[in-house]
A and B are shown apart, each in its own frame.
Chain A
Amino acid sequence: MSLVGCSHLQLYKKNPKNKESFKWIHAVFVVGISNKCRKTRICNSYCRVCKKRGPYLHACLECVFFGCMKHIREHAKTHKHTLTMDLIYGQIHCNLCGDYIYDSDMENIMKENKMQSGTFRKRLFESTSWYPTQEERSHLTSKTKKICITPESTIGLRGLINLGATCFMNCIVQALMHTPLLRDYFLTECHKCKGKPETCIVCEISELFQEFYRGATVPLALDHLLHLIWMHAKYLADYKQHDAHEFLVATLDVLHHHYLESMPPPKSSNGNVDEKCPCIIDKIFTGGLQKDVVCQICNGVSTTVDPISNFSLDVSPITSDGEQPSLIDCLEHYTRVELLDDDDKIMCSKCQSLQTSTLQQTIKTLPIVASFHLKRFQYSEKVEKIEKISTSITFPEMLDMTPFIGRAKKESPFPSDNRYTLFAVINHLGNSMNEGHYIAYVRQQQDFWYKCDDHVITRANLEEVLNSEGYLLFYHKHVLSYE
């Protein structure tokens, strides 16, 4: 689409010198491209009449003059200057027409300048309009089928065929497919693959999302995905029953690595790759776990922070009141202060010897999706094999993680909202690790729950979900924080 501004601007554009000076003013005062310009910008960005820096500072395009909204209009009137530019967004105002004008030529000049600006400014300017390409336009005209999404709609629910003890995979896929942020990421086609076609597992997940949300109801077979995972995580490559938790960890890990391969992170200015991984998997699933070791002799604290994408919780915490243990109890147990004595003494760097210490884990940064693994399979010395602990653990629909985050965050003046909502639960049915069956409960459209048992999907309700045993619990953060 081509926009042509008013006749006064056309006249102004005829002189190439005018265009040059427009470009310069825009680069320095609107975009602020280089640091050298900064000084010029700062020293001159004030109204020449009232000496204030706003509101709506404009620059005259016909002489050297800056003015706030009120004084620039006065200036244009008295000096009979027509064109001025606002210095926040770079819009051109024509005094003869009495309004702002839009012109494709000038917008192109501005676009060029904006491309060179820093990240924040870029973000400000990003909200440009969408001009559909020819291809998109033909899609819009030819694909006219409308799907109405009601609260009752079942779009997004697909049964998954069991390919021979693959229910551990099916239920993890169900949980991933119903992770709101991951779904939004893939349905908006944010993954632009630069890797080898047919081998990228991220592309496979991307296609799965399309398949899940296109409205069909025939159960899917995940043979291709299984093949890809087998290729990348060899230890899963057999027809045995595997642990769903193990599969989740492996999948996230493979996805994370494929991300780095297929969309290499841009190198930062000093040549190093940024520490925080930009991939969507890390952004959604990875938080930071802080471990503080305090030496009981010298009170020296040594702190380490590790990335964590899955909280493995002991299922036999001691409850003070003898009631049924809850997820909160497990988390309290997880973040308790542990005394390391006798054989567990730790080397203190200050005392230069083994000392009795305390260890405490707290959550430094919360992930967007917190997944909890209840350690139901534990090696029992009595029977010398892995046993399943079926202790029932209650878990809430809404979880506040504030008590479990590090102190520094807690004391910041702006209370952060650390509430999470349950959106998927994976259960193990059976008595031992090597047998049994996995099923998943997933949340759809906020309030509807469905039970996914391989290819059979049935309506469930929250009560049923909360009363189930629980093996893997997936919680999604309510409020997303800023980066």
Chain B
Amino acid sequence: MSSESKISLHLDVNNGMDRVTELVQTRLIECGWRDQVRLACRKALTENNDKKVPTVDELIAAVTPKARGMVPDSVKKELLHELELILVNVDRAGYAKHF
């Protein structure tokens, strides 16, 4: 098993994925990132000069790079810290065994 898939399995069995998602979601909403992305989407839609309305996929493709760049460093740092905590604890408690 590659280390990447191992990590993602670890995150899943320990409910870590939910914890991490919750953390990131909350932080992104609280720091205003979601509102910024919403505005960016709106802008992309209103400034769109094509006759056709872009699909969600096209919108995602257009906004994602910008949105990624807008994630504050503090959120990234906290995410990293949280991941570290979860993975260290998983190793210690050996949750994967019960699975």
Instruction: Give the interface of A toward B (CB within 8 A).
Output: 42, 45-46, 51-53, 56, 69, 73, 91, 93, 98-100, 120, 124, 413-414, 482
For chain B, residues 1 to 60, give those with C-beta under 8 angstroms from any C-beta of chain A: 4-5, 8-9, 12-13, 18, 22, 25-26, 30, 55-57, 60
Query: What's the nearest-Cβ distance from chain A to residue B77, in Å?
Result: 8
Q: In the complex the two chains form, is B30's CB within 8 Å of A482's CB?
A: yes
Do B13 and A124 have beta carbons less than 8 Å apart? no
Cβ-based interface call for B92 (8 A) = no
- Looking at chain B's contact residues, is the secondary structure mostly helix, strand, loop, or mixed? helix
Instruction: Give residues in B with beta carbon < 8 Å to A.
Output: 4-5, 8-9, 12-13, 18, 22, 25-26, 30, 55-57, 60, 74, 78, 81
Most buried by A among B12, B13, B30: B12
Cβ contact of B5, chosen from A51, A69, A98, A120, cutoff 8 A: A51
A53 surroundings in chain B (CB, below 8 A)? 8, 12
Partner of A42, one of B5, B12, B26, B55: B12
State whether A98 and B18 are in contact (beta carbons under 8 Å apart), knowing that A51-B5, A53-B8, A124-B25 are contacts in the complex: no
19 new A-B contacts at CB < 8 Å, known A73-B57, A414-B78: A42-B9, A42-B13, A46-B5, A52-B8, A53-B12, A56-B60, A69-B57, A91-B56, A93-B56, A99-B55, A99-B56, A100-B55, A120-B18, A120-B22, A124-B25, A413-B81, A414-B74, A482-B26, A482-B30
Chain B residues with CB under 8 Å of A99's CB are 55-57
Q: How far is the CA of A69 from the CA of B58 in the complex (A)?
A: 12
- Chain A: minimal CB distance from B48 (Å): 14
**Complex CA–CA separation, A100 to B74 (angstroms):** 33
Determine the distance from Cα of A98 to Cα of B53 in the docked complex, in whole angstroms. Answer: 12
Tell whether A100 pairs with B12 under 8 Å between CB atoms, given A120-B22, A413-B81, A482-B30: no
Q: 28 A-B residue contacts at CB 8 Å?
A: A42-B9, A42-B12, A42-B13, A45-B12, A46-B5, A51-B5, A52-B5, A52-B8, A53-B8, A53-B12, A56-B60, A69-B57, A73-B57, A93-B56, A98-B57, A99-B55, A99-B56, A99-B57, A100-B55, A100-B56, A120-B18, A120-B22, A124-B25, A413-B81, A414-B78, A414-B81, A482-B26, A482-B30
Complex-state Cα separation, A124 to B22, whole angstroms: 9
Q: For the complex, what is the distance from the CA of A225 to the CA of B13, rounded to whole Å?
A: 54
Chain A residues positioned under 8 Å from B81 (CB to CB): 413-414
B9 to A, closest residue via Cβ: A42
Which residues on the B side are within 8 Å of A46 (C-beta)? 5
Report the bound CA distance from A120 to B9 in whole Å.
21
Closest Cβ of chain A: how far from B43's Cβ, in Å? 20
Contacts of A69 in B (CB 8 A): 57
CA distance A56 to B59 in the complex (A): 14
Task: Note all chain A residues with C-beta closer than 8 A to B22.
Answer: 120
For the complex formed, measure the closest distance between the CB of B26 and the CB atoms of chain A, giving whole angstroms.
6
Min CB distance B61 to A, Å, is 10
**Chain B residues closer than 8 Å to A124, beta-carbon distance:** 25
